[in-house]
Amino acid sequence: MKKIILLSIIFNSIYSTNNAQNFKVDTLQYNGDISKFINIVILGDGYTANQLDTFILDAKKLSNYLFSQSPWSNYNNYFNVFAIKVISQETGTKHPNTAPDCGNSVPITNPNTYFGCTFDANSIHRLVVPTNYTNIAMTLSKNFPNYDQVCILANTPYYGGSGGSYATTTLNTASNEIYAHEIGHSFAALSDEYYAGDGYAGERVNMTKETNPLLVKWKNWMNINGIGIYQHCCGGNSAQWYKPSTNCKMQSLGYSYCSVCKEALIERIHGLVNPIVSYAPENLMVNSSDSILHFDLLKLMKPNVNTLKLDWKLDGIPLQSNVESIQIKQKNLTPGLHALSVVCEDTTNFLNIDKHSTKHFSTVTWSIQKTISDVKLTSSEYKISFSLFPNPTIDILHMQIELDKKSEVSLQLVSLEGKVLRNILKESKIDGTISNSINIRNLPNGTYLIQAKVNGIVHTQSFIKQ
């Protein structure tokens, strides 16, 4: 899992590495290898050395609440949670009293804290943000560089928080809900569903100017669970913008996430991890021509209500579904090369995405080299996202494949009868994202296939030429 930090912060951190502090790291929740699971790291700001036990209690409280909320509760098994015991010189959170909406209930304060969390950011009193980004980058680099999401607890009882790169919340009585709201911004780039101001407006998964129900981003959710096209209100250019719900956590605390926001959170989870954690065998030489071959998915990341679907195939022919192990009798294999594959996809009804089963899935492939006297097994596994757009299309078809590791990939345009019409990409070693476009203007109208062959396994998507 790759972490992205602003270059200026990186340079400052490298320059200051020798001054970076080691802090104790507590494990609040552990489901598995930090290189394979999603890691949430919680930092405290404004906690002094004698308040670190309180910080851990606060962090546990917020984390436990988050994972009681759907869809976090459904995917709790995908996450590790850690808390770094950062020590501030003084307790509290800065309040310069400079925002025009400041009231009299929050006193002016200027404590010396490690990350410099402050109220009144962007002239909004309740907008609480960290200001010492160098210290954040240094702390993470020194103490837990393998993070996926960072959250900051500002040690003050007054209401406030923010999204951005680091989900930030104070310790107000509403902090559980503030945390769940702000991490929606940081983790899945969700927009506020109240109108936060023209400077915060933009096309997001849950915010748009589109009013056509057939074209809006959440068209598949229209008229389900209260999803519609609702106009924002109150001030600036709010009337130009629309949201999917009127009772979502991204609008008001105390509500659940709406269906559109739940879907975005889950897709972010899918984008970060491969649910196939481990499998066997990885490589094996069997010095026998008649023994039974065993193949196992040793560990899977399963939603709490397991919605993972497993499909096993041998040489492209379906074998079994929804089993985590399979046996193959050697006597049923002819001499030569065979391919055994298992594809894992999440079929949760929290997703309502066209052809999701062809867009987001993980697979393990075993190459089985059978001879008269023995069998050699080698394996490869990868996570893939495969999409075609626009679909239907008139002239240009764009395709994008995202792979989590270097793989052999080829692309072909194929008719429904299986005839190869065009070789789009010759077999190449690809790492990361493949983007390609083809002109299909001269094709007769109809349905066609794009075949992506990845490490010997063919994945197919259809599209319509109009």
d(CA 396, CA 306): 39
Strands, E, within 34-192: which ranges?
38-45, 79-84, 149-154, 161-162, 166-169
What's the confidence (pLDDT) of residue 104? 79
In the CATH scheme, what is the code of domain 7-188? 3.40.390.10
What's the confidence (pLDDT) of residue 300? 98
CA 18 to chain CA centroid, Å, is 33
CB atoms within 10 A of CB 235: 11
What's the confidence (pLDDT) of residue 16? 45
Burial of 453 (0-12, 13-18, 19+ CB in 10 A): middle
| From-to residues of CATH 3.40.390.10 in the chain | 7-188
Q: Which residues contact 79 (CB under 8 A, 6 or more apart)?
A: 29, 31, 37, 38, 39, 40, 67, 72
Q: Is there a contact between 211 and 255 (Cβ–Cβ < 8 Å)? A: no
What's the confidence (pLDDT) of residue 135? 97
d(CA 381, CA 78): 19
What's the confidence (pLDDT) of residue 19? 62
Q: Which residue has the tokens 């959440």?
A: 218
What does the DSSP assignment read for 220-271?
A: GGTTSTT---EE--SSTTGGG-EES-SS-TTTSTTSPPPHHHHHHHHHHHHH
- Top CATH class of 276-383 equals mainly beta
Q: Which residues contact 33 (CB under 8 A, 6 or more apart)?
A: 277
What's the confidence (pLDDT) of residue 196? 92
Choose among 87, 81, 30, 89: nearest CA to 54.
87
CA 149 to chain CA centroid, Å, is 10
What's the confidence (pLDDT) of residue 402? 86
Fold of 390-466: Immunoglobulin-like (2.60.40)
What does the DSSP assignment read for 354-393?
A: TTHHHHEEEEEEEEEEE-SS-EEEEEEEEEEEEEEESSSB
- Residue 330, classed as helix, strand or coil, is helix
pLDDT tens across 111-148, in order? 999 999 999 999 999 999 999 999 999 999 999 999 99
d(CA 227, CA 242): 12
Q: What backbone torsions phi and psi does residue 426 show, to the nearest 5 degrees? A: -70, 155
Q: Which residues of the chain have pLDDT under 70?
A: 1-19
Task: Extract the tokens encoding 134.
Answer: 């160098």
